[in-house]
Amino acid sequence: MSEEQEKPVNPEETLHTSVPVTGMYKDWFLDYASYVILERAVPAIEDGLKPVQRRILHAMKEMDDGRFNKVANIIGQSMQYHPHGDASIGDAIVNIGQKELLIETQGNWGDVRTGDRAAAARYIEARLSKFALEVVFNAQTTEWQLSYDGRKREPVTLPVKFPLLLAQGVEGIAVGLSTKILPHNFIELIEGSIEILKGNKTNVLPDFITGGLADFSEYNEGLRGGKVKLRARIEEEDSKTLLIKEIPYGTTTDSLIDSILKANDKGKIKIKKVVDNTAKDVEIAIQLAPGVSPDVTIDALYAFTDCEVSISPNACVIIKDSPVFLTVNDILEYNTKQTKSLLKRELEIRKAELLEKLLFSSLEKIFIENRIYRDIEECTTWDAVLEAIDKGLEPYKPDFYREIVQDDLIRLTEIKIKRISKFDALKADELMKRLQDELKEVNHNLRNLTDYSINYYQNLLEKYGKGRERKTEIRTFDTIQANVVAANNAKLYVNRTDGFVGYGLKKDEFVCDCSDLDDIIVIRKDGICMVSKIQEKNFMGKDILHVAVFRKGDERMVYNYIYLDGITGRAMVKRFQVLAVTRDKEYNLTKGTKGSKTLYLTANANGEAEIVTIFLTQGAKARVKVFDFDFASIEIKGRGAGGNILTRHPIRKIQLKMEGVSTLGGLNIYYDPTVGRLNTDERGKLIGNFLGEDKILVCYKSGDYELTSFELTNRYQADDVVLIEKFDPEKVLSAVYFDGASKTYYIKRFQIETTTLNKKFNFISDHKQSYLKLISTEKQPQVSAILIKGKEEEQVDFDLDMLIDIKGWKALGNKLSTYQVKEVSLIAPKKSDKKSDDAEEEAIEDESDEQLDVGTTIDLSPKKDDEEQLGLF
């Protein structure tokens, strides 16, 4: 071995020269991010397609022969243009096919409602739809580029003459960027484009293939920061069963059922069973537990399950190789202008084609009729032939729209002898006349391009709009308070002496059923009031006098309170509300002086004011040692108010003498038809002032009536409600309904005889085509009907109370008229009747006022203490 070989190796000499990679990493990362954004995730605004979708459609157009092709073959064809695996191409084809717009499908393509996947690519088939062939492709207006391997041509973008991006929607995630454009309604997009062409503003809203209900009040035109609330369509089949007929976009029947079962396991809702009956249409049956309100359960389903979901849109598109954020209305306007531009290009191309056809037809006619072809018989060279033809055309050149070039002369030499011998001048003139007429039409369309574009969209609407009506119903959703609708999945216990409250104290005193979302209010003997989140075991202070579930902002809950002031020794009395507090903060209901304590306390859910008897001690200096006090004699004030002096003498005991009645009066209940809910916030129509056992009467288009309570959790199908008002058992209902069996209108007058709540009773004929036309509780209702008498129409007014007597609610009634009734409508009550009714109502109000204690003043406005704490949790 040589010395050189035996020499030890120096590790430092073997290291390669170090190269900094910072710059490379920066460039590579930006290149990769740009590639993902432009080539995979974000669609181009011109055609609304990602590259893979564009290549699939182009491949299908190349294969198109009018017949279905195996999807496996389409994938193979697409791989000539798309440098990725077959799985991604197959998924993209299925995604396009499930949108039911560009591709006609055959076989099992899966179901977006249930989440079922499509069959394998070798089992399913597809072809381009007629709509796609008409709207998406035109080789003459397409800009082309080489495919990734340089062997094929592929479109840069397809010349789509329709807002395809908004119709299909798109979702994609790139490096540091994402896009989410929701699908919109086919018909509404076309109508929106027409409005834009007319110079009007438009506002399009999403529409989903799964149907359901949607609130777009925060949509923000699809920009970042917007939000769409989606709800399942839930129907009440009966008092024990709910049916989910449509599901929110982005969910499936399986995921929805899973969310319902999880909510039930957590105790948020109470159900017996969930059955998936989905076949052609979605139907999920939910069987309720005994004693559970269907209305409250519907709210709970929206609050705790995927029956309500929110989607945040983010409209991002590629414009000139850059991602841009636009509103959906801006995208629609861009696509509309692009369609107009493409139509113009197509017209210009067609015009050029017609001019060329006219030119050659004219040249051909001149060439044959003037026998110019004979002039070339003596020519011995090709140049001489062309020169002879050119010379023969010389007198006619000024009439042509362009200069005659050598290619035109060559085309004339290619005319066969057989064509010359059979040339028919009349047929040639007819052809030229048709070409001139079409050219005239094309020129007219170019001059009136806007009208032509509008007609184009209207034609699309007529040809392809049928069956594409809006599936998702636009609604305004009410806010559901989770703690109000949550099922009572816990029990509240209290150890008053030791001061512990919670749902884990099962050996102590039971208070009430509650939810694990509830807040608990406690008032102690030392005058401290505190609100805390319910827990398994929570220390809230010793000597607890009152514990209950706390409802924020409950103005009906009034506390009647007597306490001893530690410094002065006086007994103070007050009435107060607890509207809003900070959790776990102690609030003193007394003046906070040492030795102060609670002497008497009641919590009154409807503002009741009782009468109590005060017993003073035997040693008290007062002459009257026993006297009564009526809580109704003092005002309702804030939680921190000091109160009024009850007595300056020591009290031995306080005893209840008489239960109180509400001093707050009835509760004004309003009905908001936009959400089909009751409220006390003065939204919608005032139904009436309610107390105790008062009920609401609801009549529906189906001919059913229903009595309900005035609970704010009640739900009503707003579109189906014909009449909703406070129930008066003495009132007579006058109804006009259409009988499906006899195809005529009937009238009937009846009183409500049933008392069952939340049960519908049908008071018209039971034919499936029967429906309630109108109903009134006026004393003297009048209707106006248009009768068909022979060939003439006559308007006649009817007094319903004169036509028919009051009968039972099950009675069929009488025919409105022997003549055919074209239309019938309710006439507003006469002014005189209204005044007398108002006078009668005022008399009733005056009479009720006389029964009130005129010395009692109720102040329901928030006090300073409450105003300081509003909205703190």
* Enzyme catalytic residues: 123
Quote the DSSP letter at residue 220: G
How many residues are listed for the chain in this entry? 873
Please give, one letter per residue, the 3-state secondary structure of 21-86.
CHHHHHHHHHHHHHHHHHHHHCCECCCCCCHHHHHHHHHHHHHCCCCCEEHHHHHHHHCCCCCCCH
Residue 562 CB partners (closer than 8 Å, separation 6+)? 571, 572, 573, 598, 599, 600, 601, 612, 646, 654
Q: 581 near 872, Cβ under 8 Å?
A: yes
Return the number of other C-beta atoms located less than 10 Å from residue 826's C-beta: 17
SS3 for 199? Answer: coil
3-class state of residue 248 by DSSP: coil
Tokens (6 digits) for 608: 């009741």
How far is Cα 196 from Cα 330, in angstroms, rounded to an integer?
11
User: What's the token pair of residue 36?
Assistant: 């993902």
DSSP-based three-state secondary structure for 757: strand
- Alpha-carbon distance of 590 to 573, in angstroms, equals 10
CA nearest to 674, candidates 261, 163, 62, 213: 213
CA distance 432 to 435: 5
**Beta strands of 721-844 (E only): which ranges?**
721-726, 733-739, 744-750, 760-762, 771-776, 782-789, 792-799, 806-807, 814-815, 820-827
Q: Diameter of the chain by CA atoms?
A: 154
Which pair of tokens denotes residue 776?
Answer: 């009134």
To the nearest 5 percent, what fractions of the chain are helix, strand and coil?
30, 30, 40
* Residue corresponding to tokens 């309710």: 826
Contact in structure between 763 and 735 (CB atoms under 8 Å): yes
Locate 489 and state its tokens: 């999945």
Rounded to the nearest angstrom, the gap between the alpha carbon of residue 625 and the centroid of all alpha carbons in its chain is 67
C-alpha distance from residue 531 to each of 408, 497, 580 (Å): 96, 18, 10
How far apart (Å, rounded) are the C-alpha atoms in residues 812 and 859? Answer: 52
Q: Please state, as a whole number, how many other Cβ atoms lie within 10 Å of the Cβ of residue 729.
A: 11
Q: Alpha-carbon distance 683 to 689, whole Å?
A: 15
Task: Say whether 345 sits in a helix, a strand or coil.
Answer: helix
**Residue 330: its H or E element:** helix 328-369
Return the DSSP state at 466. T
CA dihedral 762, 767, 770, 776 (to 10 degrees): -30
Name residues whose C-beta falls within 8 Å of residue 385's C-beta, 6 or more positions apart in sequence: 376, 379, 413
